[in-house]
A and B are shown apart, each in its own frame.
Chain A
Amino acid sequence: MSIVVEGVRKTYGDVVALDSVSLSVEAGEVFGLLGANGSGKTTLNRCLAQLIKPDAGTIQITHHDLASDPHGARSELGYLAEHPMLVPTLSGREFLRFIGGLRGLAPAVIEERSDKWLDLFELRDAADQRVRGYSQGMARKIALAAALIGEPQVVLLDEPTNGLDPPSVWLFRQVISQLQADGKTVLLSSHVLPVVEKACARVGVLSHGKLAAIGTVEELRARADKPGADLEELFMHFTGLDRAILERLADAGLGS
């Protein structure tokens, strides 16, 4: 297993962000983490990236326990945050050089990989511009390039398609497919359901900090007894949001 999460709980004051969440992701698997805003997806990602510590539970990244071997786990992990963590005063190329340095890569390797990602994301012309001037989509692309430049074994992608145009979303999906083909493990958190449906073999649905469902889309259909349902219907079913929204519509006099 590349990612093992067992009984993870995290609270912010009185708010329970994660409530005994357990899941595991196999090596070479693309796993989709679904959830509405505030369901706990980003909190789980930040726990995995060691930016925050869970109140209870254990996490392993490629067999490195985060509590006992945090450094080993970081070496195996690439993280694209929901709000890309960039250095605005650097150019795109300088930023990739910097991140390559943080990963301990040799300068020649950094240059080679930077060129590869800059070309793939069509950022070559903007490579020497400061990141501060990048559009939202460009910033997300350079942040993804930075997450991948160390060729980590496990990649966390938190809302990677926010602000991207359709061709870029398509490109992202191809990149994810290639990562899987290379044996990398990807945890893809998103509320853009079509992207998750196409990219992921298994999904987990977070609702109010709890893992409401986990499995392949077929397994979820069987559990919900909704043959032929798409991921959106399944998501609404397992989170209970379909009933809640219908009730609110009825209260507002907008539903039947």
Chain B
Amino acid sequence: MPDIPAPWEAARDLRWRAVRDVVLDPIAMLGTVVVAWALVRSGAVGHEAAVLLFAAFAIRTGDELLFTRPDGELLRVHPLGLTGFLKVRLAELGWWLHPPRVLLAACVGAGYGFWFGIAAWALGGYGRSFGLWGAIHTRRASGRHGGWVWLPGAAAVVLQHADVGAEAVLLGAAGVVLTFATIAPWAVEGAYLAHFDRLVSDAATAPRSRTRVLWSALRGLSLPIVDRGIRSRLVRDAVLTLRLQDPQGAILLLLAPLSCLLLVGELETLPTPAAMPWRTLTCAALGGAAVAYGTGPGIHRLRMASMPWERTSAHPGRRALASALVWALGLATLHGAATLATVALTQGGRFSGDVAGLALPVLGLEWAMAHFVVVQVFANQRGKRILGEGTLVLSLPVVAITIAVAGVLMPALIPVYFIVTAGMTAAAAARYDAVEVTW
């Protein structure tokens, strides 16, 4: 008779099916490598700050897994054993920590003290126990989800660049984290058995004020858009993104600004001043790709879930496409502006005189990439699926390279892209109108 897996192992296997789709996603893996490269090149996040940020990520993710994920209730009503639920979440947090572990290694990497490197490596290994242990004690201490755990890491990033002689403080803070990380594997089970039932019950019955604040803040935004249909769709997209309903898209949007850090490093190692526009456009393209993908397929699938509602409006395709483009182009504009600001401010404003000439190439590149992804997604939707999503990864670089070359050689040619693709844009809106809602 074959061995019957323990109930918690069945739960763990199911969670792996869900997590692997995100962690092993080629785009996510590529994004992680790019960010790691950016961190190594720029040195933007020092080793103490990296430790504190890694710890904060582990605790926040641990809190989400233990206390707020909807599938937690499904698992907890079944007899997984006294610590079965903890075992499932330990395994899952270990998987979620793989990408940050790569980033931690990139920040702590070569050039730092041997013992600190060893300790940080241990934190990477013990991170899952530390995350859950920290989540339990953060809830105990504050009674809430503990979003404040990000503050020490953020403060460390600022302090390391502020040159205020805070090395001892940073080292002490990182040392405290690393000490607790080595204790956590032995302490997490006791903390779970002693406190989890009460804490998860309190979490389940706590008022969800954060959501109400979020909604009212978004409603209060006086967006300079007259069309209410488009405005309401933009608020919906913002809510979906802020609630991480499209985790891959949200992560890409969070990672996009790191291209500016990469640009700082690139501008410091220019072989010749003539290479500056190319380096700038390369970094803009990397971040722009993250923005374009983050505002493309994932959130479109979420929008499709509310499509029956959208289709009751007049001209649903035109409005849906217009709002999707405003959402994507708006974020692309923000990223483009951040890229130009980086050029203007880096090295004491050495390149500030070049910003005016770079504005059209950078913004044109960002807009074209975002536009291309959105239009392709709309044009290739079939029911709730998007056909040829993988080919976007191949075709987007072609668009980016073409626009970048035009941007350097003859910026006036950039608007031609939007004229050439006008027919494609109209067809995308028509495609949306033609989709039959069968779900």
Residue positions of A touching B, CB distance < 8 A:
10, 12-13, 46, 49-53, 70-71, 74-75, 77, 79, 81, 85-87, 89-90, 98-99, 101-107, 133, 150
Contacts and interface: CB of A to CB of B under 8 A. Distances in A.
A53 B82 contact: no
A52 B196 CA distance: 11
A98 B74 CA distance: 11
A103 B78 contact: yes
A50 B79 contact: no
B5 A101 contact: yes
B201 interface: yes
A103 B1 CA distance: 18
Contacts of B13: 101
A101 B207 CA distance: 33
B218 interface: no
B50 to A, nearest CB: 34
B77 A99 contact: no
Q: Which of A12, A13, A74, A103 neighbours the largest number of chain B CB atoms within 10 Å of its CB?
A: A74
B115 interface: no
Contacts of A71: 79, 81-82
B4 to A, nearest CB: 5
A99 B4 contact: no
A121 B77 CA distance: 23
Contacts of B422: none
- Interface size band for B: 20 to 34
Contacts of B207: 12-13
Contact of B439 (A75, A102, A133): A133
9 contacts: A51-B76, A53-B197, A53-B198, A53-B201, A79-B77, A87-B74, A90-B14, A101-B10, A101-B13
Contacts of B439: 133
Contact of A102 (B78, B82, B204): B78
Closest 6 CB pairs of A and B: A101-B10, A102-B78, A53-B201, A85-B74, A74-B79, A75-B79
B91 to A, nearest CB: 15
A104 B7 CA distance: 5
Interface string B10-43: 1101100110000000000000000000000000
A81 B204 CA distance: 14
A101 B7 contact: yes
B2 interface: yes
Interface in B94-115: none
A167 B198 CA distance: 41
Given A46-B204, A85-B77, A89-B17, 9 more contacts: A12-B205, A50-B76, A70-B197, A75-B79, A101-B5, A101-B13, A102-B78, A104-B4, A107-B2
Interface of B: 1-2, 4-7, 9-11, 13-14, 17-18, 70-71, 73-82, 197-198, 201, 204-205, 207, 439
A74 B78 contact: yes
A192 B78 CA distance: 28
A81 B71 CA distance: 13
A150 B78 CA distance: 10
Contacts, number: 74
B18 A89 contact: yes
A85 to B, nearest CB: 4
Nearest to B83: A71
B75 A52 contact: no
B257 to A, nearest CB: 31
A134 to B, nearest CB: 10
Given A51-B204, A52-B205, A89-B18, A104 B77 contact: no
Contacts of A107: 2, 4
Given A12-B205, A107-B2, A99 B79 contact: no
B77 A51 contact: yes
B5 to A, nearest CB: 7
A93 B354 CA distance: 62
B197 A49 contact: no
A37 B71 CA distance: 25
Contacts of B71: 85, 87
Contacts of B18: 89
A103 B7 contact: yes
Contacts of A104: 4, 6-7, 79
Q: Which of A81, A85, A102, A107 neighbours the largest number of chain B CB atoms within 10 Å of its CB?
A: A102
Contact of B14 (A10, A52, A81, A87): A87
Contact of B77 (A10, A74, A133): A74
Contacts of B82: 71
Contacts of A86: 74
Given A70-B197, A101-B7, A102-B11, A51 B73 contact: yes
Nearest to A70: B197
Nearest to A13: B207
A52 B18 CA distance: 26
A77 B76 CA distance: 12
Contact of B79 (A46, A49, A98, A103): A103
B436 to A, nearest CB: 15
Contacts of B205: 10, 12, 52
A75 to B, nearest CB: 4
A52 B14 CA distance: 24
